[in-house]
Structures are given as C-alpha cells and as structure tokens.
C-alpha cells in the first residue's frame, strides 16, 4: 500500500529528457509546493481502497492542474514571486511559462485517457474550464473597487473551489461511485472548502494569521479588492473606497476604519460569518452518513478538520 511519504508527484522520466529547461522549471515549481491537494487525495483514496497507480494518477492530476494554473496565474497577474522564489515567467520567459503550463494540462489528459474512465476525463476537463473561466473573470475585476463579497465568492467558486471539489469527488468517480446525492454533497463541501481557503488566504493580505509571511496588501496594491477587502469596505462611501485604494500600509487601513481595534472587530465579525460556513460544512459532512456505508464512511473523519484548518490555517485553532 502506498504511503504518503512515497507519494511522488512526478518522476524524472515523466517529461522529455531533451527539454532540460522544462525539467528544471518543473523541479523548482513542484519542490516548493506543500502538495496539500495531493495529500487530500491520498487521505480520501486510502479509505476507498483505490489501487496505488490510481492514487498516484489522481494526485498527479490535481498537482499538475494546480501548478499549471499557478504558472499562468503569475504571468496574468505579473506576480514576481511564487513561494518566495522568482516566478517562472520572470526566471525563464513568459513564453516558457505558458508552454510549461499548457504541457502540464496536456499531460493530464494523456494520463487520464490511459486510465480510461470517461466520466473522470469529462469531469476533469470541466474543472479545467471552470478554472480558466474564473481566472478570466477575476482579471476583468481588476480596479473594480465596488465589487461585493457575493460576486467574489462566485469567482472563487470557479477559480479556487473547483480544485477542492475535484479532490473530494474524483476519488469516488475513479471508484465508479457516481451516486448523484453523494456528488452533490461533495461538490458543495468542496465549494465551501474553496471559499474558506480563499477567505483565509485573503486575510493573510491584511496580515491576519500570516504565518506564511506573505506580502501585506499585495492584492490591494495590484488593484484587486479581495474578499476581506470587500467585506471591510461594504459600508464605505465612494470617498472612503478611493482612500482604501491608496493605502500603502496596514496603518493606513487602520486609520481609515477608525483604528486598529475597529479593524480587529471587523476581522472577528468576518470570522463569525465564516464560522457559520464551517458549521454548514460540518453538517454536510455529517450528512454523508446517508449516502456512504462501510469503510467508505471513514472519509468523514478525514474531511472533518479541513474547513477549520483551511480558514484558520492552524489545526489547533
């Protein structure tokens, strides 16, 4: 049985040896990632008793797609850093970054077609198109300072949550369990995980629970109002919104909202709203008991801590 330690996303032979630059680009890209999504696949798959090669295929698929999206995303956003290293488009070239991303997506389809599960191929293709739609729409929201939380949630549902939904659903599709009830519940749980992950990530931009030491106010400075920004500014006047766009530091943001204390109150209120989403996630996880049986039910235990972990970025909290 495959262990989490043995789970390798790609082997040297997976990519053509005569393309050394491509190989070195992938080496750098994959070595820096946490591989959270592939670990999630592994945790689910072990309870569904999937074969090792199936687990590897699913884990590789999600990591390839995720990393392809990062290669493209960094170029679209003109981000200079990825995982504290120079972004691929900057280190190699924008052309190489695009081709490397495209190549990963092509490999996904090659690998999945070999596996031969048509439903899985179709669902994966749908997920990739959702991801791209989300990326496209998000780009059209740059400099839109009046966008609201509901609209951003819809973008994130395409861009971020589609990957989480896939992680939850694909192992069951690989096992040929296509019960519509089950997939509706898993889809909704994936949506909530994506939403909570994104909202947690957006808080890092305001230096809240920023254990990863991400750059502060990065989204705001690149012209993008993220979910917490939209929540914070929901009752702002037009003039206050303009001031928000001009904030250079967190101190400027504190001043705008009436002090650090007021800012932290807004964070608590945002947390309470997301606690409600976590409750809904836990309820849906509980309702998996109606559609799963036997050993498969053990996935509930794996799912349970995820929502809190992804939002608060810490198991203990």
Partner 1 sequence: MNENGSYKTLLKNDPEYRSYLLGTFSAQLVALPVESFGVGTERERTTFLVLSKDQVKKPFWPLIYLAAIRPELLGLTLGHAVLAMLALRPLVEKHFSSVEDFFRVGALPMFLCLVVTVLAHASACLFNDYQDHLNGTDRKSLSHGSRVIQKAWSRAVEVRRWAFVNAFFALLIGLYLLWGNWWMFVGLAVLTAAAIHFYARMTPFWNKWGAGDFWITLLFGPLLFFSVWFSILTQENFLVFSREMLVDGILISLPMGLLASWTLQVRQFQDIFKREEGSFRSLISRMNFDQAKFFLVAEGALFFFAQPVVFYMIWKDPGQSGVLAVGAALACAGLFILKNLASPLSSRMLKLNRLALSVHAGFLLLWIEALWVR
Distance separating alpha carbons of residues 254 and 262, to the nearest angstrom: 8
* Smaller CB separation from partner 1, 85 or 241: 241
In angstroms, give the least distance from the CB of 215 to partner 1: 25
Measured CA angle at 192 (ends 79, 166), to 5 deg:
75
The yes or no reply on residue 294 touching partner 1 (CB under 8 A) is no
Tell me which residues in 138-197 interact with partner 1 (CB under 8 A): 140-141, 144-148, 150-151, 154-155, 180-181, 184-185, 188
Question: Coil, strand or helix: which one is 228?
Answer: helix
Q: Which two tokens stand for residue 165?
A: 């939904």
The alpha-carbon radius of gyration of the chain (Å, integer) is 20
Tally: H helices and E strands in the chain = 16, 2
Distance separating alpha carbons of residues 243 and 159, to the nearest angstrom: 28
In angstroms, give the least distance from the CB of 190 to partner 1: 13
The yes or no reply on residue 238 touching partner 1 (CB under 8 A) is no
In angstroms, give the least distance from the CB of 303 to partner 1: 15
The yes or no reply on residue 232 touching partner 1 (CB under 8 A) is no
* Smaller CB separation from partner 1, 22 or 230: 230
- Is beta strand 81-82 parallel, antiparallel or unpaired with respect to 85-86? antiparallel
In angstroms, give the least distance from the CB of 141 to partner 1: 6
CB 79 within 8 A of CB 89: no
The yes or no reply on residue 276 touching partner 1 (CB under 8 A) is yes
Nearest to 120 by CA among 171, 48, 65: 171
* Smaller CB separation from partner 1, 121 or 267: 267
Neighbours of 221 (CB within 10 A): 13
In angstroms, give the least distance from the CB of 157 to partner 1: 10
* Smaller CB separation from partner 1, 133 or 252: 133
Interface with partner 1: number of residues (CB under 8 A): 25
Judged by CB under 8 A, the residue of 284, 292, 309, 310 near partner 1 is 284
Nearest to 228 by CA among 153, 139, 144: 153
The yes or no reply on residue 272 touching partner 1 (CB under 8 A) is yes
Nearest to 60 by CA among 87, 29, 84, 39: 39
* Smaller CB separation from partner 1, 111 or 188: 188
Which positions touch partner 1 (CB under 8 A)? 137, 140-141, 144-148, 150-151, 154-155, 180-181, 184-185, 188, 272, 275-276, 279-280, 283-284, 287
């Amino acid at each position: 049985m495959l262990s989490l330690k043995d789970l390798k996303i790609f082997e040297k032979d997976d990519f053509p040896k005569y393309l050394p630059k491509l190989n070195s680009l992938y080496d750098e890209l994959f070595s820096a990632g946490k591989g959270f999504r592939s670990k999630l696949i592994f945790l689910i798959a072990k309870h569904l008793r999937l074969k090792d090669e199936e687990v590897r295929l699913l884990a590789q698929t999600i990591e390839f797609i995720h990393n392809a999206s990062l290669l493209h995303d960094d170029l679209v956003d003109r981000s200079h850093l990825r995982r504290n290293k120079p972004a691929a488009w900057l280190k190699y070239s924008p052309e190489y970054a695009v081709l490397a991303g495209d190549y990963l997506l092509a490999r996904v389809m090659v690998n999945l077609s070999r596996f031969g599960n048509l439903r899985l191929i179709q669902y994966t293709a749908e997920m990739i198109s959702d991801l791209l739609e989300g990326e496209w729409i998000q780009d059209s929201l740059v400099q839109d300072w009046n966008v609201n939380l509901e609209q951003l949630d819809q973008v994130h549902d395409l861009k971020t949550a589609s990957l989480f939904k896939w992680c939850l659903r694909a192992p069951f599709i690989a096992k040929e369990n296509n019960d519509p009830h089950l997939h509706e519940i898993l889809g909704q749980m994936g949506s909530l995980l994506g939403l909570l992950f994104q909202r947690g990530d957006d808080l890092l931009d305001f230096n809240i629970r920023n254990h990863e030491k991400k750059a502060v106010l990065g989204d705001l400075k690149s012209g993008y109002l993220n979910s917490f920004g939209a929540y914070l500014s929901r009752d702002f006047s037009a003039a206050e919104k303009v001031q928000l766009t001009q904030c250079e530091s967190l101190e400027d943001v504190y001043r705008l909202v009436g002090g650090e204390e007021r800012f932290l109150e807004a964070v608590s209120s945002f947390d309470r709203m997301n606690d409600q989403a976590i409750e809904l996630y836990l309820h849906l996880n509980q309702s998996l008991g109606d559609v799963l049986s036997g050993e498969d039910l053990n996935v509930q235990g794996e799912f349970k801590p995820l929502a809190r972990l992804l939002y608060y970025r810490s198991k203990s909290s």
